[in-house]
């Protein structure tokens, strides 16, 4: 399969990209990002785009793929709602408009673990509105991944300081099931591209199941 990945210069995007590059199910990976990923691989191509909102519908570089793994994003901590909405809602939906053909494409959106019945939290409201909008688009499948703590993929370069703090909590969150390895996340995304899934919202436990399937 051929896959587009955004966010390859961030922690999750890089980890998923490395899994895809090392996975025999994947023939080609196109990284769409504002700057180079820092990785080189025979399967990897890069499309450097300074502003995703300038992309046009039908961009020939974004056509003919099997899946989009939209992972680009930021933490909501210290970010004003208007800015967070642009990055976590407007940009992914614009990107979803641009790629195609949609009837042959699976769109995977990196959301986040949390209580989606609680619409009072700013980031939950915005992420949920993005999830709902993607569900109305004529994709072959649209899935929202909601991971929590993720263990790094071997060879990762883009690791933020906060990840070391999360890793210190890994034994505890592993006990309560709020964890996955980065390899599992990547394999699960590949699995929903191959065979779909009964649920649109993919929680930590679903990621583990899909990774075993994929």
Which run of H or E residues covers position 120? none
DSSP line for 37-93: -S---TTEEEEE-S-GGG--TT-GGGBS-SEEEE------TT--HHHHHIIIIIHHH
The pLDDT of residue 176 is above 80: no
Find the range with the poorest average confidence among 31-40, 112-121, 128-137, 190-199: 112-121
What pLDDT does residue 154 have? Answer: 87
- The pTM for the full model equals 0.91
When comparing pLDDT for 75 and 93, which is higher? 93
What pLDDT does residue 163 have? Answer: 67
Find the range with the poorest average confidence among 87-91, 177-181, 193-197: 177-181
What pLDDT does residue 119 have? Answer: 73
* pLDDT bucket at 86, cuts 50 / 70 / 90: very high
Q: Are 14 and 8 in contact (CB under 8 A)?
A: yes
pLDDT tens, residue by residue, 8-57: 999 999 999 999 999 999 999 999 999 999 999 999 999 999 999 999 99
| Cα torsion angle, 71, 156, 83, 52, sign | negative
Domain count of the fold of the chain = 1
Q: Which residues contact 195 (CB under 8 A, 6 or more apart)?
A: 213
The pLDDT of residue 179 is above 70: yes
91-98 helix and 122-135 helix, angle to the nearest 10 degrees: 10
What pLDDT does residue 155 have? Answer: 85
Residue whose structure tokens are 């955004």: 6
3-state secondary structure of 31: strand
CATH number of 47's domain: 3.40.50.720
> Could you list the residue range(s) of the whole structural domain that residue 43 is in?
2-213
């Amino acid at each position: 399969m051929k896959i587009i990945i955004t966010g390859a210069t961030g922690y999750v995007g890089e980890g998923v990209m490395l899994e895809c590059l090392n996975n025999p199910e994947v023939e080609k990976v196109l990284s769409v990002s504002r700057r180079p990923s820092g990785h080189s691989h025979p399967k990897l191509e890069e499309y450097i785009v300074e502003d995703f909102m300038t992309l046009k519908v039908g961009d020939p570089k974004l056509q003919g793929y099997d899946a989009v793994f939209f992972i680009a994003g930021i933490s909501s901590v210290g970010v004003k709602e208007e800015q967070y909405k642009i990055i976590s809602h407007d940009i992914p939906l614009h990107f979803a408009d641009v790629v195609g053909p949609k009837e042959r494409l699976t769109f995977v959106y990196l959301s986040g673990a949390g209580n989606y019945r609680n619409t009072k939290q700013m980031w939950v409201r915005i992420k949920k509105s993005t999830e709902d909008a993607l569900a109305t688009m004529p994709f072959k499948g649209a899935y929202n991944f909601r991971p929590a703590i993720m263990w790094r993929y071997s060879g990762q370069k883009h690791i933020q300081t906060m990840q070391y703090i999360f890793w210190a909590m890994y034994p505890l969150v592993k006990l309560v099931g709020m964890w996955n390895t980065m390899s599992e996340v990547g394999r699960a995304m590949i699995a929903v591209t191959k065979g779909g899934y009964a649920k649109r919202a993919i929680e930590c436990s679903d990621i583990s199941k899909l990774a075993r399937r994929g």
